[in-house]
Structure 1
């Protein structure tokens, strides 16, 4: 759910590290950017280090500094399908990843009771596109009273109902019958990344406390000052120090743009609980279940489930949230966790006003965090790391241009994410608390209001989103909109222009593929056991 709040463990320095012996090499406007210093470990720091080091090889020296005193949250993390591409780029095999990170397959999210508190309802936001989407036909398909939008147009909804895996045992690494991401143990993932980055990608690793910065807050950073190791010099500094935000906030004082007026949630109660048994089914989607004062995430790994209650402190207290969480766990037939195992996480939903300032880039929670809904935290890290790697500045003059473009791109990403998350609440008909009434009616972003007004009379299409790189596609909007009963007033003339044969063909194709998967795909647990024993065929 939440990435590392700061930086963490073990010592390992290499020839790539830079120390106070070179501190006199002050950065100038023409100095080449070859030394990158990352502050903070966890998922944010090590993913960023791995992506940059793999992309540039020995041409760039990457040093990561982390504290031995800060631990990861580690309640369970959901990824997007983008993680498959990221793992391939940095050179980690899917077999090693699955085995090392206690990982399971994720095909999307299931939303339970978000539409109403009176009538049980659920719908899926799968990772695979709805059938007919590329041709613009998906949203024109007539609604069925028996099947949800996702069930009509995506086999993965059917497969998730049956707790099936998205791939066969014979499918090669990173390939499957449907699009998929992962559920993983965040702490184990950070450890795997650290091992791979230091041993295979030659990332220098320093375990120490950052106690200061060399350089004025109005100019570029020359070095970070560590308690034991001394000065660590670089031309580009990446702040992955989580909530501490040691560089972007403590040094540069870049403002935080709170989105609490839009997304009220600012707290979570989280715990890990074992499965009922070692043979029980493992969900291949994240469960998101609406509650009277918030919602519960439920992420299933091979050995346990990470469960948490997200809520707004404005409307409810920790004791109420904790009671609701324990009640959910009891209803799931799971054992009651020890009181000390339950953790409270506080956050201020929002993002930095400027994400790349001078020669410092914020990545991870130092850059922004909204809430666990739709698991956008890790993908923001992946996108940021890839952008830096692919657009690494040649010098500080070039950096000004790259930084400006990065800031425009990622400010848009954060604004888009805010609007998409708000969509889930705006469409809800729940009226069982002040929380839901407020979430539905207050703080609706202008861009979301315009889209909803547009989609009342025309089906969502690609060009409705002005930015070609929006992190949530129109397909994702369709799944949420029509999953929650949103209606588009399509005229008869538009409907008659659509071939009834086309609708029938789309439906038959989805049904055929869904049924084929039910006959051939293993359960999530069965495939995970097979991978543990035999691995996944290499590409």
Structure 2
């Protein structure tokens, strides 16, 4: 049977990203796409950080970067600044490192070996000019830089609710996606277990050939209707709750061009600055911190002002579905699963999975068995790599001030794949060949920034005299470029104001 009618269940970022990816890919193939969104269920709306790959996605959808920035309260994100992730007694009370978006050592050979000779300075400062740009709160580009192009690598911070609305408009106007506001009250299955139809509260039974479950944590199709089990990762990633709040800011306040991630006794705090407010969330393990203690910690972080704002506590079920594609249904976004937001992986995994599905979308039911097997293998691999990368932030910490940090270093809680990588990188500086799949979520530069930001003790490699001279020249060139960029680039807020006034050049 040919697949001609597709339903996306759920709106928000996940649903509308899926609708755009599929709408673009299937526009010329006589396939209709209908997004069914509940009018009664608000989106989670806390996923406000992205990674650089989102720029390529938005450009491919035909969305103007200027319009996106204006409509979605967008600010630029060039890094995640990890504060207080190491022992204060050993590394100082203001210890931090940057996980930058520009690759390290851009003007010659890798400088990691040079850093290991003298690891007192910040790794990111040695290997990238972007460290200085971030610390000076500067923008990653000029107003004359064309849309989606960059002087320094960047992603975005954004208002998630407004982002979903922009994606919704784009999908309907450019790709002909139909939008229905209704609640799914029941699901009918075929004898073979696949989904036959949805029962909607406003328009009764609706039949489709293929279903995309973007219904969030509820996962009303994949989990509830098709009974796909959940793979629990709470024994490796302990963080399972968040207290979230939005804090208004002054119109002239400095806007950091990075996400702040500040560690605490049993987790960490994200702090994302938009142009007129900050999105702040304290994530924690409820096995190590009571809810009331978490609120008290967030109140201290906000200098005693928490009660001035509306805040809420969100439980997080940490893990993913054993299958992401079952029968004629694929789950995306939170319906696939959730891992803590330490590296803004939720939107990233949704974008990756939706794009992958769109490029390998079945034209008939006969193709689904082979395609679903490949999709499930790929996405399982991706989710496991995210588990490893997130865990690395915790198990490398030398903090001893709570059981949370001590237990995170217990080998029983560290995935075997990560243990093998760390054992290798104890002897050798990481290189791209250590990551052997094209479906790696994080590249070697991501590992380098976190490993050496957290002072990982790789065995110091021997460097020949000539190589050492060249490495120091390379480091000097990076510092010279950093000085030049700090003179040329505008402040973050200044660029945003100019974008709202004039807009970028079109590509």
TM-score class, shorter-chain normalisation, is over 0.9
Q: Distance in 2 between matches of 1:139 and 1:224?
A: 55
- 2:459 is aligned with 1:489: yes
Q: Distance in 2 between matches of 1:340 and 1:161?
A: 29
Distance 1:498 1:184, change over 3 A: farther
Distance 1:250 1:513, change over 3 A: same
1:372 is aligned to 341
Q: Distance in 1 between matches of 2:140 and 2:106?
A: 20
Aligned with 1:97 (options 44, 51, 68): 68
Q: Distance in 2 between matches of 1:416 and 1:46?
A: 25
CA displacement, residues 285-319 of structure 1 (integer Å, 9 cap, x when unaligned): 00000111211000000011001100001111111
Name the SS for the 2:76 alignment partner: strand
Segment of structure 1 superposing worse, 194-203 or 90-99: 194-203
Q: How far apart are residue 467 of structure 1 and its match?
A: 1.4
2:272 is aligned to 299
- 2:25 is aligned with 1:55: yes
Aligned with 1:464 (options 434, 444, 456): 434
Q: How far apart are residue 89 of structure 1 and its match?
A: 1.1
2:291 is aligned to 318
- 2:371 is aligned with 1:402: yes
1:507 is aligned to 475
1:311-460 to 2 correspondences below 5 Å:
311-330=284-303, 336-338=305-307, 341-441=310-410, 442-460=412-430
CA displacement, residues 497-523 of structure 1 (integer Å, 9 cap, x when unaligned): 871232023212211221111001011
Q: Distance in 2 between matches of 1:110 and 1:532?
A: 27
Q: Distance in 1 between matches of 2:475 and 2:209?
A: 56
Q: Distance in 1 between matches of 2:466 and 2:209?
A: 57
Preserved contact between residue 106 and residue 286 of structure 1 (Cα < 8 Å)? yes
CA displacement, residues 375-410 of structure 1 (integer Å, 9 cap, x when unaligned): 000011100110111011121121111111110000
2:57 is aligned to 86
Segment of structure 1 superposing worse, 111-120 or 478-487: 111-120
- 2:259 is aligned with 1:259: no
Preserved contact between residue 169 and residue 536 of structure 1 (Cα < 8 Å)? yes
Name the SS for the 1:247 alignment partner: helix
- 2:168 is aligned with 1:194: yes
Q: Distance in 2 between matches of 1:443 and 1:216?
A: 41
- 2:93 is aligned with 1:122: no
Q: Distance in 1 between matches of 2:458 and 2:109?
A: 15
CA displacement, residues 109-150 of structure 1 (integer Å, 9 cap, x when unaligned): 0000101133221000001110159x7623222344553111
Name the SS for the 1:320 alignment partner: helix
Name the SS for the 1:187 alignment partner: helix
Q: Distance in 1 between matches of 2:134 and 2:143?
A: 17
Q: How far apart are residue 181 of structure 1 and its match?
A: 0.3
Segment of structure 1 superposing worse, 470-479 or 69-78: 69-78
Distance 1:49 1:457, change over 3 A: same
Q: How far apart are residue 232 of structure 1 and its match?
A: 2.4
Aligned-residue Cα RMSD (Å) equals 1.6
Q: How far apart are residue 75 of structure 1 and its match?
A: 3.5
- 2:251 is aligned with 1:278: yes
Preserved contact between residue 75 and residue 272 of structure 1 (Cα < 8 Å)? no
Gaps of 5+ in 2: none
Q: How far apart are residue 154 of structure 1 and its match?
A: 1.1
- Count of paired positions: 501
Preserved contact between residue 193 and residue 226 of structure 2 (Cα < 8 Å)? no
Q: Distance in 2 between matches of 1:79 and 1:386?
A: 16
Name the SS for the 2:384 alignment partner: helix
Distance 1:201 1:85, change over 3 A: same
Aligned with 2:115 (options 142, 160, 173): 142
Q: How far apart are residue 241 of structure 1 and its match?
A: 0.1
- 2:5 is aligned with 1:42: no
Q: How far apart are residue 328 of structure 1 and its match?
A: 0.7
Distance 1:246 1:76, change over 3 A: closer
1:215 is aligned to 189
Aligned with 1:183 (options 157, 169, 186): 157
Preserved contact between residue 247 and residue 309 of structure 2 (Cα < 8 Å)? no
Output the TM-score relative to the length of structure 1: 0.90
Name the SS for the 2:167 alignment partner: helix
Aligned with 2:127 (options 145, 150, 153): 153
1:516 is aligned to 484
Aligned with 1:110 (options 56, 67, 81): 81
Segment of structure 1 superposing worse, 207-216 or 291-300: 207-216
1:527 is aligned to 495
Preserved contact between residue 198 and residue 207 of structure 2 (Cα < 8 Å)? yes
Gaps of 5+ in 1: 1-30
Output the TM-score relative to the length of structure 2: 0.96
